């Protein structure tokens, strides 16, 4: 107990500071250290509800900010939202026509937990793979990608897959992550695969 990032204190702090969830502090830490979002970037946030990452992103960039979630996201000034499943193969095309150039994709998406740890982790990793596939279809060359992952069986393979598409790939464990959790974030910068073959801008 006792760290400033402990469950209750982080939650209380988030509410006091007007964030919709304690997850805000994870993105703040990552942005402070890795500068993944620049002030004119267009950013797509996957698995964005209730919207604390969107609040943080809105404070960083003057570009377009789009949040996508299976659940509705309560309105936020200057933020576009979409109720959708980002694993839907038609979504990248829709997002490209809404946003135009996408500079950054972030994903804090997580499936509903069943309580069976290995099953839940496998589903969470599969969602991370879906987020990567989405990012590869919308990002402009040179763009950045942040994704939540879990250390376990498939982690190294997932990391290697990300390395195939980005020049710089780092991992980061946030102080705001609960003790005992295997959650880890992957920060991938400088997207190198173009998607001209799909006829995107």
Ligand X SMILES: C[S@@+](CC[C@H](N)C(=O)[O-])C[C@H]1O[C@@H](n2cnc3c(N)ncnc32)[C@H](O)[C@@H]1O
Give catalytic residue positions: 148
Closer to ligand X by CB, 1 or 114: give it: 114
User: Per CB under 6 A, does 91 bind ligand X?
Assistant: no
| Contact flag: residue 94 with ligand X (CB under 6 A) | no
What is the side-by-side order of every strand in the sheet holding 80-83?
Answer: 80-83, 65-69, 43-46, 102-107, 139-150, 183-191, 166-172
Q: Which two tokens stand for residue 185?
A: 């974030």
* Residue of this chain nearest to ligand X (CB atom): 47
Minimum distance, C-beta of residue 141 to ligand X, in the bound complex (Å): 25
Residue 31 in the binding site for ligand X (CB under 6 A): no
Nearer to ligand X among residue 63 and residue 128 (C-beta) = 128
Of residues 14, 23, 95, 102, which one binds ligand X by CB under 6 A?
23
Query: Beta strand pairing status for 102-107 and 139-150?
Result: parallel
Q: Which stretch binds ligand X (CB under 6 A): 41-49, 58-66, 74-82, 151-159?
A: 41-49
Residue 21 near ligand X by CB under 6 A: yes
Where do contacts with ligand X occur on this chain (CB under 6 A)?
A: 20-21, 23-24, 47-53, 68-71, 85-87, 108-111, 127
């Amino acid at each position: 107990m006792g760290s400033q990032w402990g469950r209750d204190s982080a939650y209380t702090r988030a509410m006091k500071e007007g964030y919709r969830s304690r997850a805000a502090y994870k993105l703040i830490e990552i942005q402070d250290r890795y500068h993944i979002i620049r002030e004119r970037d267009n950013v797509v946030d996957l698995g964005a509800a209730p919207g604390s990452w969107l609040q943080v992103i809105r404070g960083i960039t003057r570009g377009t900010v789009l949040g996508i979630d299976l659940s509705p996201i309560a309105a936020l000034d200057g933020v576009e939202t979409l109720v959708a499943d980002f694993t839907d193969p038609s979504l990248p095309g829709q997002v490209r026509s809404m946003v135009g150039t996408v500079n950054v994709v972030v994903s804090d998406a997580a499936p509903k937990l069943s309580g069976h740890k290995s099953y839940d982790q496998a589903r969470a990793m599969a969602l991370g793979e879906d987020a990567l596939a989405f990012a590869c279809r919308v990002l402009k060359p040179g763009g950045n990608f942040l994704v939540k992952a879990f250390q376990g069986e498939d982690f190294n393979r997932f990391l290697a897959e990300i390395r195939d598409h980005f020049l710089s790939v780092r991992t980061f464990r946030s102080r705001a992550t609960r003790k005992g959790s295997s959650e880890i974030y992957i920060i991938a910068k400088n997207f190198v695969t173009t998607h001209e073959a799909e006829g995107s801008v």
